[in-house]
Amino acid sequence: MNGLTEAKLRSLAGARSFERGRDYTDAVSGVEFDEDRITAFVHGTERYEVELVLGGTRGPVGECDCPYGQEGNFCKHLVALGLAVLARKADVPRLRKEARDRKRGLDGWLSGLTREDLLTLVREEMAEAPGLRRRLELRAASARGDLAGIRSRVRELLDIGPFARYGYVEYADAHAYAGQAGQAVSAIRSLTASGRAADAIVLTREAIESLIRVVENVDDSDGSLESVGADLADAHHDACRAAAPDPDELAHWLVSHTLRDACELTDIDPLDYADLLGEPGMAALRRYAVEAWQANRTGWAEKYLMERLAKSGRDIDTVIAVHAADLAPNGHSHLLIARELDTAGRTAEALEWAERGVRETEDPATVDTALVDHLAECYTRTGRLADAVTLRRDHFAARRSLLTYQQLRAAAQAADRWPAERETALTLLRADGDRVLIDILLDDKDIDAAWQAATACGAHDGQWLTLADHSRPARPADALAVYLRLAARLAPQTGNATYEALVSLLLNIRDCHHHLGTPDDFTTYITTLRATHKRKRNLMRLMDDHGL
C-alpha cells in the first residue's frame, strides 16, 4: 500500500504519538477509500476528521483537524487510521474498487436525473447541510450580481461572534473561523470571475477592514488567519488588474492601507501595483507618501514607505532626506546615509556623513560601533592611517573593552604607532582598576603583567583559570595555587558537569606537581579527595577513566 507500514507510521509520528495512536484504533469510524486517499473520523476529546494520502514517492502523508495536526504534525489520530487500515490490509484492493464503483454509480445516477429531480435533491441536501446552503447562496448572489446580498454574506462569514467565547476566538476555534473567512475570499473572487471586478475591489477592501478589526481577538498561532489576509491581498490585486481602477484613487488607498498598524495582516506592497498604476498612479503614490511622511517624519511606516519608493526610483537624495529628518542620537542614521551614498558612488559625501555621525553623538560611549567600524575602514582604505588610529583611540577611551582595544591595536600597528598607543591605553586601564585590564594583558600575551594586575585589582574565577593555564609551565607554583582553590570550591558540589570541570582541574594539578617535581604530594591529595567523595560514583568513574 505505497509504503504504509507500522514502521513508517512510527517514523512519521514519533514513538510517543505512535504508541498513543494504538489506543485510538477502536475510535476510528466512517472509513472511506478513494484511489490513493482514505478519510475517516477519530473520536477523541472531540470528533476529528483525518485523511491519509498513500500516493507519492515519499510514502504516506496525512492531515488531521486536531490542534496538533493543524500545526503540520503526523498526530495520533492519523496513526490510529493508519493502523486501522493495516488491520484491513487484505480488504483494501476490494474497498478501493468498491469506492470507484460507487463514484461511477453516483455520477451515472446524477446524470440521469431530470432538472426537477436535481433541484429537489439539492434543496433536500441544503436543508440538512447549512454549510452547503450558504455556499450555494453566495454563488447565486454572485451570478445575479446581488452586491448587497454578497456584502451581507461576507460580513457574516467574517463575524467572529459564533466562534468567540467572551469576545475572543481561542486557538481551538481559530482554524474553523479561518476556514469560514476563506469562504468570503472565494465569494469575492467569484465576482471578479463573473466580470464584476469593480465590485470585487470594494468588497475586498471592506473584508480587509473587517479582518483588521477582529484580528486582535483571534489566537492565530498557526497562521490560518494570516493566510486569509494574504488571499484577500491577492484577490484585491487580481480585481484591480481586471477592473483597472482610477490610478489616483488606488494610490491613495494603497498608501493609507500601508501606513496602518495592522497592514502586515495582508502584507500588501504598493510597488506590486506599479504596472497597474502607470506613471500617473506612481506619481500620485509618491505624492501621498510624501504628504504622510511630512505629517509624521518620525513614523516608522512612513519612513519605510518613503525609503522604498525613493530606492525604487533611484532617488538617493530623497532616501537621505528621510533619514536626515529623524537622526538617531547614536549615529546609526548617519551610517545608513553614508552607506547609501557609498553605493551611489558619492564617497566624499559618504565620508562627511560618517564623520558627522561620530562627531554629533553626544555620549561617545553610545556611538554606533558599526559607524565607527565603517569610518575606520574608510580611513584605512584611503591611506588616512593616523585618522584611523585617532578614531579607534577615542572609541577605546569612551568604551574600554577587549574588542575596542584589539581594534586600536590593529589600527596602531598598521600605522606603526603601537608601542606608544599601548602604553597610553594601559595607563587608562590601570587608573580605572577594571578587570578588563587582565583580559587585555592576556590577549597581549603579557602574562607577568596580567598576574600583577590580577593580584592588584582582583580577578574572577574565569580569569584566574586562564592565567593559570597560560602560566603552568613557567609558574607552576602560582598556577597550582589557583587550581587548588578552584577545585576546593567544586569538590563539594554534585552533577556530571561539575565532575567534568573538577577532573579537568585535577589533571592540571597533576601537571603542576610534575613541573614542581612533587608527585607524592599529588598522590596524597588525590587519595584524600577520593576518600572524602567516594560516594560520588560518577566522579569516581570519571577519575578512573583519566587515570586519577
- Examine the domain organization and report whether 217 and 120 are in the same domain: yes
Query: 9: how many CB neighbours lie within 10 A of its CB?
Result: 26
Q: Is 73 left (phi over 0), alpha (psi -120 to 50) or beta?
A: beta
Residue where one domain finishes, among candidates 437, 458, 479: 458
Report the distance separating Cα 480 and Cα 488, nearest Å.
Answer: 12
Q: Is residue 280 part of a domain?
A: no
Q: How many domains does the chain have?
A: 4
Q: Is residue 483 part of a domain?
A: yes
Q: Is residue 298 part of a domain?
A: no
pLDDT score of 143: 66
CB proximity list for 503: less than 8 A, separation 6 or greater? 539, 542, 543, 546, 548
Which residues does residue 32 pair with via DSSP β-bridges, in sequence order? 39
Single-letter residue type at 199: D
Beta strands 47-53 and 28-33, pairing class: unpaired
Report the distance separating Cα 356 and Cα 337, nearest Å.
Answer: 11
Q: Is 30 left (phi over 0), alpha (psi -120 to 50) or beta?
A: left
Report the distance separating Cα 366 and Cα 85, nearest Å.
Answer: 66
- Examine the domain organization and report whether 444 and 471 are in the same domain: no
* DSSP assigned state of 65: -
- Examine the domain organization and report whether 123 and 224 are in the same domain: yes
pLDDT score of 113: 87
- Examine the domain organization and report whether 45 and 164 are in the same domain: no
Q: Which of 341, 318, 317, 337 is nearest to 327 (CA)?
A: 337
Find the Cα–Cα–Cα–Cα dihedral 95, 99, 102, 103, rounded to 10°. -170
Residue where one domain finishes, among candidates 203, 227, 245: 245
Query: 519: how many CB neighbours lie within 10 A of its CB?
Result: 11
Residue where one domain finishes, among candidates 404, 424, 458: 458
* DSSP-derived 3-state class of residue 451: helix
Rg of the chain (C-alpha set): 36
Helix (H) or strand (E) holding 191: helix 171-193
pLDDT score of 58: 62
Q: Which of 212, 211, 290, 278 is nearest to 250 (CA)?
A: 278
- Examine the domain organization and report whether 167 and 237 are in the same domain: yes
Q: Is residue 329 part of a domain?
A: no
Taking the whole predicted model, whether its pTM rises above 0.85 is answered as: no
- Examine the domain organization and report whether 71 and 186 are in the same domain: no
Q: Is residue 317 part of a domain?
A: no
Q: Is residue 254 part of a domain?
A: no
Residues in the chain: 548
Find the Cα–Cα–Cα–Cα dihedral 486, 489, 490, 493, rounded to 10°. -170
Q: Is residue 324 part of a domain?
A: no
- Examine the domain organization and report whether 128 and 169 are in the same domain: yes
- Examine the domain organization and report whether 138 and 216 are in the same domain: yes
* 27-61 per-residue burial string, b: 16 or more CB within 10 A, e: under 16: bbeebebbeeebbbbbebeeebebbbbbeeeebbe
- Examine the domain organization and report whether 132 and 230 are in the same domain: yes
> Cell 477592501 belongs to which residue?
205
What are the φ/ψ torsions at residue 114 (nearest 5 degrees)? -80, 170
Report the distance separating Cα 75 and Cα 63, nearest Å.
Answer: 8
Q: Where are the beta strands (DSSP E) in 392-544?
A: none
- Examine the domain organization and report whether 125 and 199 are in the same domain: yes
- Examine the domain organization and report whether 30 and 148 are in the same domain: no
What is the domain range of residue 127? 116-245
pLDDT score of 145: 66
DSSP readout, 280-320?
HHHHHHHHHHHHHHHH-TT-HHHHHHHHHHHHHTT-HHHHH
Average pLDDT across each block of 10 residues of the chain; the chain has 548 residues. List them in order: 79 87 88 82 83 73 80 85 88 81 84 88 79 70 73 86 84 83 85 87 93 88 84 92 93 92 83 91 90 88 86 84 87 92 92 94 91 95 94 93 94 94 91 86 91 87 92 91 93 91 94 93 93 91 92
CB proximity list for 538: less than 8 A, separation 6 or greater? 496, 499
- Examine the domain organization and report whether 138 and 233 are in the same domain: yes
Q: Which of 44, 9, 49 is nearest to 27 (CA)?
A: 44
Q: Is residue 13 part of a domain?
A: yes
CB proximity list for 194: less than 8 A, separation 6 or greater? 142, 143, 145
Report the distance separating Cα 170 and Cα 181, nearest Å.
Answer: 15
Report the distance separating Cα 406 and Cα 92, nearest Å.
Answer: 72
Report the distance separating Cα 79 and Cα 12, nearest Å.
Answer: 9
